[in-house]
Structure 1
C-alpha cells in the first residue's frame, strides 16, 4: 500500500464529498483536482480510475441515506410510530419521488452512450458551468417573493414532475444535479430548503442505480491491489459528504443560490485558463 496512493484517494474522496450535493459541479472540480494535479488514472490504469470515481460517489450516496434515513423509512412505509396526522396529512410520497425521477432516468437510459462519448470534455463542462450559474441566478431573481411550498412534504405531483424535467439538464456533465433541480424547484415556488431536500432524496436512487451499473460493467478493475485505494476514497467521500450535506441544508435558506453561481463562474474561468487558454 503506497502512502501517496492513499493520499490521492483521500483527497479525491474529499473533493467528491464536498461537491457532489452542492450546486457547484463535482465534475468540474474532479477535472481540476484529478486530471490536472493528482492524475489517479496513472496509479492503477484508466479503468480503475473510472471505477474509483464510481466508488467515491457511492460514499456520497451513503451519506445522503444517513442524513435522510427517517425520510427514506417513511417513504418505504417502514418507519414506526407514525402519527395519524403524518399518515393522512401532508407527507412526501414515494410515488412523487418516482415521478420526479422518471424524466432523467428515461433520457439517461436512451442517451447514455452519446453522453459518455461526446459530452465529457473540458469545453462542454465549461459551457455547462456557466449555463448552470445563469440558471441559478435567474432562479433567485425570478422566484416568488413568498414560497408556495415551504417544506418537502407540501410538494405536488406536478412540481415533482417539472423538477424532474429540470434534473434532465444534469445529464450534461458540469451542469450539476443539485444546481439544476434546486433552481427548478425555486422557480416553481418551493423554498430553497424544500427544493434541496427533494433534490437530495431524488439523488439517492438515480445515483445509486447509475453507480451500480457502472461498477458491474467495470468489475474487472476491482482487484486486491485496488481495493485499499477504493476503501480509503469511499470512507473519505462518505465523511465529507455527511458534513457537507448537513452544512448546506442549514445554509441554503440564508445564502440562496447566487453565491454558488458566482463560485461556478470562477471555477469555469480557472478551467478555461488551465485547459483552453494555453
Structure 2
C-alpha cells in the first residue's frame, strides 16, 4: 500500500465525512470522486472497494455518536449512572421510543427491498433521478414550511411527527435522494424548525446506518484483507474527522440558510454528473 493509495483513502473519507449528513447525497459524490477519478476498484478490487465504503461510513456514524453522546446517554437511560456518580443531567423529553417509531418504516422497507435496491438501483441514472427529485422536494419543504415552527427543539417532537418523518425517510432508499435531505424536509413540513429536524435526523442516523453498515460488513467480511488494512484505517479516521466537522458546522448554519442552497447545489451536481457521464 503506497502513499498515493493512502492519500486516496483519506480523500474518500473526506468525501464521505463531509457529505454523509449534509442533504446533498454522499452516494452522488462517491460516484463522481471515486468512479470518475480515484477508481479504488482498480487497486482494491470491486468487492474490497465496496467493503471500504462501508468501513468509512462507520467512521461517519462514530462522529454522530460523539456529537450527540449526551443524547444517547439520556436515551439509553445511562444518565442514571452519571447522576449516581455525582454528575447532573439535563432534563430531556426526546425518548428512545420516538427514535424507534421514526426508524420502523425505513427499516422494514430496507429489509424487504435491500437486494433489489443493490441489484437494480445503484446506477448513475437512478442517482441522478434521486438527486433531482430530492432537490425539488427540499425546495417544496422550504416554500411550504411554517414561518413559526411549532417545534423549535428536538425535545418537543411528537410521535405523529416521528412517524411521519420515518415514512418520508423511505424515499431515501432510492440512491441519490439523500436520507438527511428527505428527513429534514419531512420534519420541516410537519412543523419542526430546521435545527430540530436536523437533530432528529442525525440521532436517527446512528442506529439505521450502523445496522445497515453492520449487515453489509458481515456479508463482505471475506474481502477485508490485512494488505488493505492501512487503507481502511486511513479512510475510517478521515471520515470520522471530517464528519465531526461537517455535523457541527451544519447544525450551526441550518436555521439560517435553510434547505434551498443545498437543493440548488444538488441540481448543479446533477448537471456535472450528466455532463461527465453522458
For residues 131 and 111 of structure 2, the distance between their equivalents in structure 1, rounded to whole angstroms, comes to 23
For residues 210 and 199 of structure 2, the distance between their equivalents in structure 1, rounded to whole angstroms, comes to 17
2:244 paired residue among 237, 242, 252 = 242
Give 2:62's aligned residue: 62
Task: Tell me, yes or no, if structure 1 residue 270 matches structure 2 residue 269.
Answer: no
2:140 paired residue among 130, 138, 141 = 138
Which 4+ runs in 1 deviate beyond 2 A?
80-85
For residues 183 and 226 of structure 2, the distance between their equivalents in structure 1, rounded to whole angstroms, comes to 39
SS at match of 2:63: helix
CA change 1:45–1:191 in 2 (3 A) is: same
Give 1:253's aligned residue: 255
Give 1:224's aligned residue: 226
Any stretches of 5+ residues in structure 2 without a counterpart?
A: none
For residues 103 and 123 of structure 1, the distance between their equivalents in structure 2, rounded to whole angstroms, comes to 26
1:176 paired residue among 175, 178, 181 = 178
Aligned ranges 1:102-121 → 2 under 5 Å: 102-121=104-123
Give 1:124's aligned residue: 126
For residues 13 and 237 of structure 1, the distance between their equivalents in structure 2, rounded to whole angstroms, comes to 4
Task: Tell me, yes or no, if structure 1 residue 23 matches structure 2 residue 23.
Answer: yes
Task: Tell me, yes or no, if structure 1 residue 195 matches structure 2 residue 197.
Answer: yes
Shift of 1:83: 6.8
Q: Deviations over 1:227-262 (max 9, x none)?
A: 111000000000000000000000100000000000
Shift of 1:43: 1.1
Give 1:78's aligned residue: 78
Shift of 1:4: 1.1
Give 1:41's aligned residue: 41
For residues 238 and 171 of structure 1, the distance between their equivalents in structure 2, rounded to whole angstroms, comes to 23
SS at match of 2:23: coil
Give 1:10's aligned residue: 10
- Number of residue equivalences: 273
For residues 188 and 44 of structure 2, the distance between their equivalents in structure 1, rounded to whole angstroms, comes to 43
Q: Deviations over 1:108-165 (max 9, x none)?
A: 0000011011110111110110100000000000001100100000000000000001
Query: TM-score w.r.t. structure 2 length?
Result: 0.96
Shift of 1:224: 1.1
Shift of 1:84: 9.3
Any stretches of 5+ residues in structure 1 without a counterpart?
A: none
Query: TM-score w.r.t. structure 1 length?
Result: 0.96
